[in-house]
Amino acid sequence: MQTVNVIAMIETKPGMRDEVLGMFKANVPAVLAEQGCIEYGAVIDMEGVGGFQAKIGENSFAVIEKWESMDALMAHAVSDHMKAYGAKTKDMLANRAIHILSEA
């Protein structure tokens, strides 16, 4: 079975990143408890790295996910807690891009 890797790029409306991240972090335990979830967490730009870094920006964060299978990822996408999180945050988001990736 092939591991499914996901990088979700989330851009919030200006000044709303911390509020969305708070809701995201509150939802993390439910996601980690899902069958097939290997890894799930948010990341933001690291400071003091230097000129070679391509920043995602002050209103953005990325979600790094790893799932045991596509079935596990698809169940996650329609779970009640993800539907609730999506409903709470949808008006706070400017853009969202979900990258589903396989091992090279």
User: Residue 35 maps to which CATH number?
Assistant: 3.30.70.100
How many distinct structural domains can be found in the chain?
A: 1
Going edge to edge, which strands form the sheet with 37-43?
37-43, 60-67, 4-12, 93-101
Task: Summarize pLDDT for 34-92 with one digit per residue, the tens.
Answer: 999 999 999 999 998 888 899 999 999 999 999 999 999 999 999 999 999 999 999 99
Provide CB contacts within 8 A for 95, sequence distance 6+.
9, 10, 11
Residue 76 belongs to a domain: yes
Domain span holding position 93: 4-45+56-101
Tell if the pTM clears 0.85, that is, is over it. Answer: yes
Does residue 51 form part of some domain?
Answer: no
Q: Where are the alpha helices (DSSP H) in 13-95?
A: 17-32, 70-77, 80-89
